[in-house]
Amino acid sequence: MTTDPLRIIHCVRSPIGGIFRHIKDLATTQSEAGHQVGVICDSTTGSDFDNALVEELRPKLALGVARFPMQRQLTFQDMAATWNIYKHIRDLKPDVLHGHGAKGGAYARIIGTLLRLKGQNVTRIYCPHGGSLHYDPHRMEGRVYHGIENLLARFTDGLVFVSDYEYSAFETKVGHPKALARVVYNGLQPEEFTPVTENPDAADFLYIGMLRDLKGTDLFIEALYNIRLKTGTAPTAKIVGEGPDEERYKAMVERFGLSDKVTFLGALPAREAFKLAKCVVVPSRAEAMPYIILETVAAKRPLIATRVGGIPEIFGRFASRLIEPGHIGKLTMSMESAMESPAELQIAAEGLRTCLAETFSVELMSDRITTLYQELRGVVPPESVAAKSSSRTAPVTGAQSVLARSRNQ
């Protein structure tokens, strides 16, 4: 179906990790489809590696990339940031404002509402990507953030969730979505489904991701130490990534006497990192729909992961292999088993990969999200809009059921 191109602005605070990977792929694909796209993100966050990815995106987008100082927590500086971002967006005259993450979602919906009051027909979209949904609803911080989410829900036209888990968390912590909501899984590029072979001198384990406790970096290091206590020899490991707790983890490695076994390599492309170890470990305490899991499975690398967020939806019938998050004993045992019986993890890796390419594709992700924009703007006829906005899809039991659902929605 041919439709007029849209002017789309994606807004996110932190231009790093999986959330920016999602935006980069989505914005690029939408641009290639003929839409005019722009991105707004924080100017104070990001390493040289991250900033290079932002600059790589810039020439591909008709509406450019703009960066403004944005704070992670709620501060009075948010008012100045909102005004500066508002002026920039106002002049771009967008059709769609798509906010990603808690802070990006707040900017997009507040500014979109202000533009509506000025007479602009702006569609306001929000994708949490975990964000404020990771907070405990029984703690004060969680109650504050979930209360803000509930308030902003009144100024939301469409919601995109990256997993059924995220949809469920929103329902439980914020409330049943009042706006038209879709579950749209993250997607990979076709070339990412080429298997990656480890180097001859590969380490035993690889941790790849943001260096912060939420991602379980501390648990990974502690498990290496526990194996040394039990066997007398620590496994070798590579730690790839950057984050706020990097120096603390380096001190932890030194304190545990693992400096000769563990190497910190900074940020690297995932497929380059996969060559460095025999097994990938993702010990997260919380997730939404992590790209690193998809990337690891697509590359057919052995994987140890926790039962959090949307990860069980990827694992399907192999979900029983996932381990309890935050449980250092079970993580240690899984890593020991991987060293003793590597063939079992390789068999699981091959099984997981079977229908991943057809289900978790960038083209499918972009098509479903862009179609949501068009439905909300009345450009294409809605497909059971009432049903989609008032009820949730059935629980996912594996990649094939996700594919069936994506075709039916």
More confident site: 73 or 390: 73
Residue 355: the pLDDT is 65
Residue 385: the pLDDT is 41
Residue 358: the pLDDT is 74
Residue 351 pLDDT class (50, 70, 90 cuts): confident
Q: What residue ranges in 151-310 does DSSP mark as E strands?
A: 158-161, 180-183, 203-208, 237-240, 262-266, 277-282, 303-305
CB-based contacts of 313: which residues, under 8 Å, 6+ apart? 163, 164, 165, 185, 289, 396, 398, 402
Q: Is 405's pLDDT higher than 50?
A: no
Q: For residue 21, how many other CB atoms are within 10 A of its CB? A: 18
Contact assessment for residue 74 and residue 147, using Cβ atoms and an 8 Å cutoff: no
Residue 84: the pLDDT is 96
Extract the tokens encoding 397.
């039991």
Q: Which domains does the chain have, with CATH numbers?
A: 7-187+361-408 (3.40.50.2000), 191-358 (3.40.50.2000)
Residue 408: the pLDDT is 36
Q: Is 323's pLDDT higher than 60?
A: yes
Q: For residue 244, how many other CB atoms are within 10 A of its CB? A: 11
Residue 171: the pLDDT is 96
Q: Please choose, from the candidates 143, 73, 79, 67, the residue with its C-alpha nearest in 3D space to the C-alpha of residue 103.
A: 73
As a whole number of angstroms, the distance between CA 380 and CA 365 comes to: 17
User: What is the separation, in whole angstroms, between the first and last Cα of the chain?
Assistant: 16
Q: Please choose, from the candidates 21, 6, 28, 159, the residue with its C-alpha nearest in 3D space to the C-alpha of residue 92.
A: 6
Q: For the chain, what percent of residues have pLDDT higher than 90?
A: 82
For residues 35-47, give the mean pLDDT: 95
Residue 401 pLDDT class (50, 70, 90 cuts): very low
CB-based contacts of 100: which residues, under 8 Å, 6+ apart? 10, 11, 12, 19, 22, 23, 127, 129
Residue 382: the pLDDT is 63
Residue 381 pLDDT class (50, 70, 90 cuts): low
Residue 386: the pLDDT is 36
Helix (H, G, I), strand (E, B) or coil at 264: strand
Extract the tokens encoding 144.
């504050």
Residue 65 pLDDT class (50, 70, 90 cuts): very high
249, amino acid identity: Y
More confident site: 14 or 343: 14
DSSP per residue, 139-178: SHHHHHHHHHHHHHGGG-SEEEESSHHHHHHHHHHT-S-S
Q: Is 320's pLDDT higher than 50?
A: yes
Q: What are phi and psi of 198, to 5 degrees?
A: -70, 155
Q: Is 200's pLDDT higher than 80?
A: yes
Q: Is 403's pLDDT higher than 60?
A: no
Burial of 326 (0-12, 13-18, 19+ CB in 10 A): middle
For residues 382-402, give the mean pLDDT: 40
Map tokens 């120096």 to a residue: 247
Q: What is the pLDDT of residues 261-307, one digit of tens each?
A: 999 999 999 999 999 999 999 999 999 999 999 999 999 999 999 99
When the pLDDT of each residue in the chain is averaged and rounded to a whole number, the result is 90
Q: Please choose, from the candidates 201, 202, 241, the residue with its C-alpha nearest in 3D space to the C-alpha of residue 221.
A: 241
Residue 74: the pLDDT is 80
Specify the pairing of strand 65-68 against strand 96-100.
unpaired
Contact assessment for residue 165 and residue 288, using Cβ atoms and an 8 Å cutoff: yes
For residues 31-42, give the mean pLDDT: 97
Residue 45 gets which letter from DSSP?
A: -
- Counting runs of H as helices and runs of E as strands, what totals does the chain give? 17, 12
Residue 396: the pLDDT is 37
Q: Please choose, from the candidates 27, 50, 56, the residue with its C-alpha nearest in 3D space to the C-alpha of residue 39.
A: 27
Q: What is the pLDDT of residues 181-197, one digit of tens each?
A: 999 999 999 999 999 99
As a whole number of angstroms, the distance between CA 289 and CA 48 comes to: 25
Contact assessment for residue 288 and residue 130, using Cβ atoms and an 8 Å cutoff: yes
Specify the range with the lowest mean pLDDT, choosing from 119-123, 199-203, 404-408. 404-408
Helix (H, G, I), strand (E, B) or coil at 121: coil
Map tokens 């960038």 to a residue: 362
Extract the tokens encoding 65.
């990339």
Contact assessment for residue 327 and residue 283, using Cβ atoms and an 8 Å cutoff: no
CA dihedral for 176, 151, 214, 399, sign (positive or negative)? positive
Residue 387 pLDDT class (50, 70, 90 cuts): very low
Helix (H, G, I), strand (E, B) or coil at 356: helix
Residue 60: the pLDDT is 97
Q: Is 45's pLDDT higher than 60?
A: yes
As a whole number of angstroms, the distance between CA 72 and CA 50 comes to: 17
